């Protein structure tokens, strides 16, 4: 899978099955998903779960489970975390300095192997500094199940 940033809150996931464009909704080809439910589009398993005023998406593709929290960080209750299951990659929103603690809590709740923060450049830079990220931003990230470290959490900034 290749992950690229299209805009401050828009991401593209290229997989063997197809291309997913994600922001507050998911678009796979001509299909748009913008709410809770269970879907299977082009071999991509999608769970839309109702969060606090937004739909949280969990996608299963290429043996990887990815969670997309599109608009604002929030705290998940235990039932929602259990519904999501194990998460390999978390794409989380970074809104500003006042929500950094919520974003960190969200990441700790999900326990992903890989974190990709999304938001405007200034907010993402602040998050990276707060989280101790020292690697340079990348244009695109290629990920497979075998490249995800089970022992340590990695954070990658997309430019």
- pLDDT by residue (tens digit) across 10-59? 999 999 989 999 999 999 999 999 999 999 999 999 999 998 889 999 99
* Percentage with pLDDT > 70 across the chain: 100
| Spatial CA neighbour of 89 closest among 37, 35, 22, 25 | 22
Is the distance from CB of 94 to CB of 103 less than 8 angstroms?
A: yes
Architecture of domain 2-155: 4-Layer Sandwich (3.60)
* pTM of the complete model: 0.94
**pLDDT exceeds 80 at position 97:** no
With a cut of 90, say whether residue 69 has pLDDT above it: yes
d(CA 72, CA 20): 20
Confidence of residue 153 (pLDDT cuts 50, 70, 90): very high
Q: How many CA atoms lie within 13 A of 28 on its CB side?
A: 20
With a cut of 80, say whether residue 88 has pLDDT above it: yes
The ranges assigned to domains in the chain are 2-155
Q: Are 20 and 12 in contact (CB under 8 A)?
A: yes
């Amino acid at each position: 899978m290749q992950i690229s940033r299209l805009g401050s809150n828009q991401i593209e996931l290229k997989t063997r099955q197809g291309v997913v464009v994600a922001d507050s909704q998911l678009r796979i080809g001509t299909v748009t998903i913008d709410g809770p439910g269970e879907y299977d589009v082009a071999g991509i398993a999608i769970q839309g779960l109702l969060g606090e005023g937004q739909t949280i998406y969990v996608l299963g593709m290429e043996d990887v489970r990815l969670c997309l929290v599109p608009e604002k960080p929030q705290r998940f209750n235990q039932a929602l975390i259990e519904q999501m299951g194990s998460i390999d990659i978390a794409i989380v929103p970074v809104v500003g300095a006042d929500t950094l603690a919520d974003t960190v809590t969200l990441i700790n709740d999900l326990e992903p192997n890989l974190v990709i923060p999304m938001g405007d450049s200034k907010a993402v830079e602040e998050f990276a500094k707060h989280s101790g990220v020292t690697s340079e931003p990348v244009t695109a990230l290629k990920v497979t199940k075998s490249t995800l470290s089970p022992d340590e959490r990695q954070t990658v900034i997309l430019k």
